Amino acid sequence: MRLSVLLYGLFALVCGSAMVIGAAAPQPQDEGDVRGAFLTTRPKDKPATSDNTAKPNRRRPKTANPNTSGNTNNPNNSAKAPEKKPATPTSTKTPTTTTSATTKPVNVKRIGLGLTLFTRDSNGMAVRIDPEHVFQKGDRVRLLLETNTDGYLYIFNTTNDGPVNMIYPNPDLDEAGNYIQAHVPVEIPASASAEERLRWLIFDEFPGNERLFFVFTREPLKGVPIEDELITFCRNSRASCFWHPSPDLWEQVQKQMQASLKTDKAQRYGATQTAPEQQATTRGISLAKDDPEPSLVMMASSTSPMLVATLDLIHK
């Protein structure tokens, strides 16, 4: 059976098989460690909301030049040499560092990805659903993705083990940007779309095997077009705008697939998507510690530059 979606007219998907996140031979992960490492990075309190909250910006943040300061628009504003301070007398006493019981060594943060699957109920509401649910023709689903640190999100897909297509970033969505802020969730497709048909992935009657690869990185992937470069690529493309990764890049991606932890509880399935979850996706607001956990969580090591999760769906 075929899972098709018209997401801003972007792509059509083919789905089948079972939903899992991880590699063929995943490494076991400790449940408490994975969930804790992911959720403790959420803000303690919910951020204040207002009707004027800006839409999330998925383009790379612009950083100031560290070598300039003051009014850089003034051509006469030359940099001054720093004033020399009197030398501090040296001490033969070895300095000590004081730490408290709550102080932890400064390490590079482990990168994590959380995923929750929603379906549309008979009242048109988005409700959590078990990832192992068997879907039928006409069923609708939506993904909610959340990361624990800032980075770059890519989504690739294969149909019946065919060619690999990049479906996110996309020139018709978020200005082809893919920069994700920590704990600011991303909906795919977006519930804020103007038309109902653009808000869900919809199963139809055609069989097939669809696999989605969610790739989250600390820095942009080299050689992968995003933002203006991707927009130009698609403008110049005579065929459908699908960018295909090189064999070397795809081999690198596949080597980074890791195990997942199913954090959701059976009693949570069927629960309606909360107002904070909905507001966060449309207003660029981060989720707080007391907001619902993702249904699935995966963490990479602190030294890993990339985290990869795969998603299949049961479609009969």
Summarised one tens digit per residue, pLDDT across range 27-76 is 445 555 777 788 889 998 876 655 555 667 888 887 644 343 334 344 34
Of 151-160, 193-202, 249-258, which range is least confident?
A: 193-202
Q: What is the pLDDT of residue 52?
A: 54
> What global pTM score does this model have?
0.74
Give Rg (Cα) of the chain: 23
CA distance 206 to 82: 70
Of 85-94, 135-144, 160-169, 177-186, which range is least confident?
A: 85-94
Summarised one tens digit per residue, pLDDT across range 103-148 is 444 456 788 999 999 999 989 899 999 888 888 888 999 999 999 9
Of 262-266, 303-307, 310-314, which range is least confident?
A: 262-266
More confident residue, 22 or 204: 204
Q: What is the pLDDT of residue 14?
A: 38
Q: Residue ranges per domain, the chain?
A: 3-48+107-315
More confident residue, 105 or 273: 273
